[in-house]
A and B are shown apart, each in its own frame.
Chain A
Amino acid sequence: EAGVTQSPTHLIKTRGQQATLRCSPISGHTSVYWYQQALGLGLQFLLWYDEGEERNRGNFPPRFSGRQFPNYSSELNVNALELEDSALYLCASSEGQGWNTEAFFGQGTRLTVV
């Protein structure tokens, strides 16, 4: 069974541009989570989508947004990129809501803003 897949693996953007990151959850999983792992800041919760809706977001500005499609895949969009947005963005999926079910992460997208 395929795990959580993310694309692209690496992404280089210029400050001010927009970045789109994609995530395909494990088959049967309806919840998708996005985390940012920036150097020195650890893993921080970004967004949670379930059944096509944004259920909650972490302490990030509105230029971080996303959506979940009917097939439960998800996109993370980052507008007006800033240098400090450079980070590894990890997506995870779970079968139900919350981490009381098994949850697995993808390999991440490494975003570099220059």
Chain B
Amino acid sequence: AQKVTQAQTEISVVEKEDVTLDCVYETRDTTYYLFWYKQPPSGELVFLIRRNSFDEQNEISGRYSWNFQKSTSSFNFTITASQVVDSAVYFCALSEDGVDSSYKLIFGSGTRLLVRP
């Protein structure tokens, strides 16, 4: 069964600290896609990254980096030198590539990040 687990419900850090948000997923498929979205207080889901299951290269985008490890079914997200504007709820999500399942995005429960000045 498909499942995404974000064990960290809430994280609080002081500005400029590095923080890692954990994501563990379960899937039967060999082809799947993993996502991270940011949801600020305004409510919209902001797309951060999409990664397919065949691409295990880590990715860095500015202060954001992602560590994808198929061996541990994890897709962790690190914010370096966090800022107050990073405060939001972050969701990890999974989509399988099958005809019967490619339409569905399975979300984790989210991690609320609070960055204090």
Q: Mark each residue of chain A from 92 to 111: 1 if its CB lies under 8 Å from any CB of chain B, else 0.
A: 10000111101111111010
Is B64 engaged at the interface, CB distance under 8 Å to the other chain? no
Q: Establish whether residues B45 and A100, one from each chain, have CB atoms under 8 Å apart when the complex forms.
A: no
Contacts of A58 in B (CB 8 A): 104
Interface residues of B (CB under 8 A from A): 33, 35, 37, 42-47, 50, 52, 91, 95, 97, 102-110
Q: Count residues of chain A with CB under 8 A from any CB of chain B.
A: 25
B111: min CB distance to chain A, Å:
12
Q: CA A42 – CA B92 in complex, angstroms? A: 12
B2: min CB distance to chain A, Å:
11
Is A43 engaged at the interface, CB distance under 8 Å to the other chain? yes
Q: Establish whether residues B103 and A103, one from each chain, have CB atoms under 8 Å apart when the complex forms.
A: no
B33: min CB distance to chain A, Å:
6
Contacts of A102 in B (CB 8 A): 47, 50
In chain A, what residue has the closest Cβ to B107? Answer: A43
Q: CA A20 – CA B9 in complex, angstroms? A: 33
